[in-house]
Amino acid sequence: MVLITNLTKTKIMSLYNFTKTFKTELIKKKKSGIFTLSIILGALIPVFITIASLISEDNFTTNSTPVNYYFKHLKNYIIPYAGFLLPLLIIITASKIAQIDHKNRGWYLMETQPISKFSIYFSKYFLLTISNFISIITFITSTIVFSWILATIKTPEAHFELNIPFLLFIKVIIRLFITSIAITAIQYVLSVLIRGFIWPIIIGFFCLISTLTFNDNSIRLYWFPFQFIIDVAENPTGSDLNNWLTYSDYLSILFAFLFLFIGYNFYKLKTLLNTFWFPKSNLFKTLGVLLFFSASAFALLQPIQLEKHNRTVLKGLIHSDKAIKFAYVLDKNTGDTIVKMPIKNNSFSAIITDQITTDNYSLIFDRYSKYNFFFGKNDSIQIDYKNYGNNSKVSFKGTRLAEHKQGKNTFSVTAIGYFLKNNMKLADADFYMSSIYKNWQKELARLSSTRTVDNIVPGNDFLERTKKQLVLKYITHWNLFKKKREALYPNMKYTVSDNINHLVNSISLNDESLLSCK
pLDDT of residue 161: 82
- Mean pLDDT of all residues in 86-114: 82
Q: Which secondary structure element, helix H or strand E, spans residue 40, and what is its range?
A: helix 34-55
Task: In whole angstroms, give the CA distance from residue 289 to residue 286.
Answer: 5
Distances in Å between the Cα of 362 and the Cα atoms of 248, 327, 400 are: 34, 10, 15
Radius of gyration of the chain (CA): 28
Task: In whole angstroms, give the CA distance from residue 2 to residue 102.
Answer: 42
Query: Where is mean pLDDT largest: 123-127, 160-164, 267-271?
Result: 123-127
Q: Which secondary structure element, helix H or strand E, spans residue 120, and what is its range?
A: helix 117-153
Task: In whole angstroms, give the CA distance from residue 367 to residue 376.
Answer: 25
**Which positions ≥6 away from 14 have C-beta within 8 Å?**
116, 118, 119
Specify whether the CB–CB gap between 247 and 454 falls below 8 A. Answer: yes
pLDDT of residue 7: 43
Specify whether the CB–CB gap between 311 and 378 falls below 8 A. Answer: yes
Q: Percentage of the chain surpassing pLDDT 70?
A: 89
> What amino acid occupies position 298?
F
**pLDDT grade for 235, boundaries at 50, 70 and 90:** very high
- pLDDT tens digits, 412-456: 667 888 888 888 889 999 999 999 999 998 888 888 878 899 999
- pLDDT tens digits, 236-256: 999 998 899 999 999 999 999
Task: In whole angstroms, give the CA distance from residue 214 to residue 97.
Answer: 30
What is the CA angle 260-265-267, rounded to 5?
Answer: 95
Q: Is the pLDDT of residue 484 over 80?
A: yes
DSSP string, 413-435: --HHHHHHHTT-STT-HHHHHHH
Q: Is the pLDDT of residue 458 over 50?
A: yes
Burial of 45 (0-12, 13-18, 19+ CB in 10 A): buried
Say which range, 5-14, 179-188, 318-327, has the weakest mean pLDDT.
5-14
**pLDDT grade for 16, boundaries at 50, 70 and 90:** low
Q: Is the pLDDT of residue 15 over 80?
A: no
Burial of 167 (0-12, 13-18, 19+ CB in 10 A): exposed
Q: Is the pLDDT of residue 50 over 50?
A: yes
**pLDDT grade for 2, boundaries at 50, 70 and 90:** very low
